[in-house]
């Protein structure tokens, strides 16, 4: 099936589960060639997620060379200190903030001619040693530090729960995220806290039913990775 058809099918699924709120689709294009991104773009997809900084920057530059200016680029992989400048100079969103030091560097290194970098705090909701993200009880301390920084804008939360095929287990983790998201909105009513990024190819329905506003889909759009 074509990328265009896959996008159409996923959008139909999103619409099927969607409540009155808008759920946006982030196409996860890591390890996929720029030609696949172009195919999705021409099919009406404008938001792309990359896991690896260098690979993402190369694709962003390819888009610029083709004078494509309306793609929004999200970093959805872990970010080390030595890569913050590249991210600050090229990406639009970072979904994986779990340390103040990284947020501070991004704020300092964001070029003044660009709009603020949009930020999500990553929560390690299933308490997995292998996963990045902060513990839920650390959220408000980190958020209070981040909202003081210029050149970045806190927009919400992101999580990658432990993989399970049990919808009840999926929804349990997602419900915890939804509660944290609502608490963050209540804490900062003056800020555009509007993005709860959770749900991937295997757990998208549970995520949407639990309050996700953005799902991150890769395999179901572009096929299996090499």
Q: Under a CB-based contact definition with an 8 Å cutoff, are residues 78 and 96 in contact?
A: yes
Q: What is the CA radius of gyration of the chain?
A: 17
Q: What is the largest CA-CA distance in the chain?
A: 47
Residue 139 token pair: 């959220």
The tokens describing 225, both together, are 């990775």
| Phi, psi (rounded to 5 degrees) for 121 | -90, 130
Question: pLDDT by residue (tens digit) across 153-163?
Answer: 999 999 998 88
pLDDT band at residue 18 using 50, 70 and 90 as cut-offs: low
Residue 81: predicted pLDDT: 96
Q: What is the pLDDT of residues 22-61, one digit of tens each?
A: 899 999 999 999 999 999 999 999 999 999 999 999 999 9
Decide if 131 contacts 159 (C-beta within 8 A).
no
Give the residue-averaged pLDDT of 156-174. 90
DSSP classification of residue 104 = H
Alpha helices in 20-162 (DSSP H): 34-42, 53-65, 84-90, 100-109, 139-146
The pTM for the full model equals 0.96
Tens digits of per-residue pLDDT, 122-155?
A: 999 887 677 789 999 999 999 999 999 999 999 9
């Amino acid at each position: 099936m074509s990328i265009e058809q896959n996008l159409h099918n996923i959008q139909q699924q999103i619409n099927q589960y969607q409540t009155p709120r808008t759920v946006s689709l982030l196409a996860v294009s890591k390890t996929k060639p720029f030609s696949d991104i172009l195919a999705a773009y021409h099919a009406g997809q404008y938001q792309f997620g990359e896991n690896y900084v260098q690979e993402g920057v190369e694709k962003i530059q390819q888009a610029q060379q083709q004078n494509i200016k309306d793609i929004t680029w999200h970093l959805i992989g872990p970010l080390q200190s030595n890569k913050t400048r590249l991210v600050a100079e090229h990406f639009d969103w970072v979904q994986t903030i779990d340390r103040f030091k990284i947020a501070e560097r991004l704020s300092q290194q964001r070029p003044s001619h660009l709009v603020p970098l949009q930020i999500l705090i990553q929560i390690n909701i299933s308490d997995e040693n292998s996963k990045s993200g902060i513990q839920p009880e650390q959220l408000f301390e980190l958020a209070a530090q981040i909202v003081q920084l210029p050149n970045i804008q806190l927009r919400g939360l992101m999580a990658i729960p432990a993989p399970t095929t049990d919808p009840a287990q999926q929804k349990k983790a997602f419900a915890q995220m939804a509660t944290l998201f609502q608490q963050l909105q209540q804490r900062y009513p003056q800020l555009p806290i509007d993005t709860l990024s959770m749900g991937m190819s295997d757990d998208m329905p549970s995520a949407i039913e639990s309050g996700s506003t953005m799902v991150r889909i890769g395999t179901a759009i572009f096929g299996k990775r090499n």
